[in-house]
Structure 1
């Protein structure tokens, strides 16, 4: 029997988002540390653009590793709609955090938005994409292969 995404959305359990909120905090700390390493070590050695590309790649890899670890170790069995909502939650929190920090630093919104311009060679968009899809990717994959 198959269920529609709508019927799953109607039965979303709010309490299953507490652990993913904690995981997002872990990923935020990793992202801040990654940014510090980028500014202090990478950019002086390889330049601004290469430093940003390398840093983004490292952060995407870290997000995937943390997400895989969480979904392989959690006892919570997530519905597809819940996995999608975890990805949306992580993405909204991250983008919101970025804009709030930018505002606090006095960075114009246009500069923050410019970080998402792939036509200008920006690669940061890979981070929110990884945050959005990793819960679905690993939640579905691990649910199919790991006994619960």
Structure 2
């Protein structure tokens, strides 16, 4: 019997990763508070941005690694890829939603992703995208 991708993806396996994303979102908000209250006043705007991004990437890798090392669910590669895409989409969507609520122009939110301007924030969604495959498939073997 030949299964299509849609038939081989179990929708029930996405509930736990959604909860993991919520935990990572809480960590991201705490990280943002740390950046604004502690890092930026001590080391400046750009250095605070870089250090905060590195700390958040480390937190995402830690939480992802712990989740995939301890979950009883055996994810397929397609499911892991979809988890990463989901985490990334939720994060980018959250960023734009918060920006909209705060009255931040969309151009300013988009500018956070401009690597050529020295922005390193892109590392966060990239980490969210690859972490499930990294910990759920590559390192789990």
Task: Give the one of 37, 40, 49 matched to 1:40.
Answer: 37
Displacement after TM superposition at 1:141 (Å): 2.8
CA distance in 2, matches of 1:143, 1:53: 30
Match of 1:3 in 2: none
Q: 2:79 aligns with which of 66, 79, 82?
A: 82
Stretches of structure 2 lacking an aligned partner (at least 5 in a row): none
Alignment of 1:132 with 2:129, yes or no, is yes
| 1:141 lines up with 2:124 in the alignment | no
Instruction: Please give the residue correspondences for 1:1-148 in structure 2 after superposition, counting only pairs within 5 Å.
Output: 7-144=4-141
Aligned residues: 139
Distance 1:49 1:142 in 2: 33
Cα distance in 2, alignment partners of residues 55 and 67 from structure 1: 18
Counterpart CA distance in 1 for 2:25 and 2:63 is 11
SS in 1 for 2:140: helix
How high is the TM-score relative to the length of structure 2?
A: 0.96
| Residue-by-residue CA offset, 1:58-94 (whole Å, 9 max, x unaligned) | 0000000000000000000000000000000000000
Whole-Å separation in 1 of the counterparts to 2:5 and 2:30: 37
Q: Give the ranges of 4+ consecutive aligned residues of structure 1 lying more than 3 Å apart after TM superposition.
A: 6-10
Following superposition, the deviation at residue 8 of structure 1 comes to 4.4
C-alpha distance in 1 between matches for 2:131 and 2:4? 22
